[in-house]
């Protein structure tokens, strides 16, 4: 008996942005931007968007594939990401609470 494979759906435990205070919203956006930047680099190192060896578009293709990776990383973060933004946000909130 085959068990159907269900796709993974990441769930973020971050509160919705509309329910956050303005300063927390700013922290959240910075944390998401940092996670997206990290994912962009990791996707690049994983070879996503690399041109096949037989069809080289040169430096232009390399430049535009970086834009594609950046947008894919942003989409990943908006869908829940890998949890890095959540960790950064929580750490910044703790630091702010300790300082204030």
37-74 pLDDT per residue, tens: 999 999 988 887 666 665 566 777 777 888 889 999 99
CA dist 1 and 87 (Å) reads: 40
pTM of the model: 0.72
Residues 6+ away with beta carbon under 8 Å from 72: 43, 48
Residue 91 to residues 1, 11, 31, 38, 84: CA-CA distances in angstroms? Answer: 46, 19, 10, 17, 11
What is residue 12's predicted lDDT score, i.e. its pLDDT? 59
Q: Which residue has the higher pLDDT, 12 or 75?
A: 75
* DSSP letter assigned to residue 14: S
User: CB of 79 within 8 A of CB of 42?
Assistant: no
Query: Which range has the top average pLDDT, 3-7, 17-21, 56-60?
Result: 17-21
What is residue 100's predicted lDDT score, i.e. its pLDDT? 72
The domain limits of the chain are 20-48+59-99
Nearest Cα residue to 32 out of 72, 81, 68 = 81
């Amino acid at each position: 008996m085959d068990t159907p494979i269900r796709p993974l759906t990441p769930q973020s435990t971050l509160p919705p942005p509309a329910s956050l205070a303005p300063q927390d919203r700013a922290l959240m956006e910075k944390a998401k931007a940092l996670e997206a930047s990290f994912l962009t680099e990791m996707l690049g190192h994983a070879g996503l968007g690399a041109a096949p060896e037989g069809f080289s578009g040169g430096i232009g293709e390399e430049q535009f594939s970086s834009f594609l990776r950046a947008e894919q990383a942003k989409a990943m973060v908006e869908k829940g990401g890998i949890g890095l933004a959540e960790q950064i946000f929580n750490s910044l909130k703790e630091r702010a609470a300790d300082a204030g």
